[in-house]
Structure 1
């Protein structure tokens, strides 16, 4: 049985539920990444509600929403902004790009060139962009939800491993169940719920939540558990490239956010185990023979968790 959810978080998720039917788990994981200061990679086929999810999250937390539609001809300056000469003032003026917002939807990121992908991913890592030698600090909070079509779709550029590692977690939306899809049709027949959605949390409150996450206690035994899990992925016989130390940090931060969401100021092993597949799987590169056998990165994470003893920790209250 789960703990009592934080009332502010419950308010945000309840607001998103007004728009998204049957996607509570996806909304929860998205909020975990936002609160932990990370970013999300959302992979799925077109038309399942990826864009609507990000818009609903942005509206719920009073955030400045920006959308970047990635196409093969998109330039890095289309993302970061550009300096334009003003003859009246006789100086260059910076015209900010869409990356200068709070919540950024990077739509179909794998349809653009690696050079343009890097412009976004640099901002994600550094929380700043440099244009013509001038550094511009990005807004806080700064959260990117990048969507991509499955890599076997035509016209896609797979993200390199180093760039995948910058996403806190990766998830899929999935098709709705028949009864959920019926509810989607009923809502769409009346109006578009997203247009009437109102904020339930201010940006200042959101920043406060992000600060509170950092105070959630992670016992030393759980830190060792996370390190052991990531280490086992690196030494696994089916794995070419395992989870990096950045991935270990990501799992710890995600677990802190998850504990906070459910009203605890300490992390328990269940938090780590629940989030490990979403945080670790996209960081694992399998050997070719493992892929031919039908093994997935999620399989590796689950096998590793089955073999590493779960710590019996002292609950910190």
Structure 2
């Protein structure tokens, strides 16, 4: 029987208080630059697209602008598409895949669909290579009224005027080995519950909305990504990360109930991507390309099969 050492912060079975959260925060350090990696790329894109600051994180002494890139040829009669990345800052290809889509493919959709891309929803977590924000809150469980996460609340304000015009929303994520070595053990410790290990799937998969599953849409995205990188198989129980596989590479969650980012709109077509960057069969370039392929396939399917009701 495998045993796991207790997480180094807190007392097993007891949820964290202010002291434990302060201890956790004291262990975080900047490992990369939001300004160099993200803001500099967005600056290069300003001549081609509109850039909107939809909020600002005040994480003294640092502040982080929250930026969205929008179609310059915005037409009110067109449907809309939302692309989000970096809700979990440590999930690198979500951020860089979103930026790569803007740089290389977004202009191809001019006059067909209005696009809003928020490439780095959680810039502090991007720099720290963290899942949570500065307050040990998971932004991707915080997309609800009275959100405890500034990152989530700001994105919800950005999206609110567009809700009834959005046809598709694709939220770009990764599942990494550190989910099991760090982030899920930290979550269990924070909440004072036992950590139950799970298996990290080797490959790309999608999370759909169990309340609006859209299986043909999910299959189209999987088919496009399969041309770029491998799709995660089901485990011995027919599941991926504990959820039943409903189609190759697809699981479903009750997204609005869980406060997930892909539940913030009323779009017909929604999905969360999950790239596996730690696979020996995938390079960082493939991971970014998989995100771009997923975005393009999602938009293409939505344009071919749906309209805003």
**TM score, norm. by length of structure 2:** 0.31
Q: Which has the larger radius of gyration?
A: 1
- Bigger share in helix: 1
**TM score, norm. by length of structure 1:** 0.30
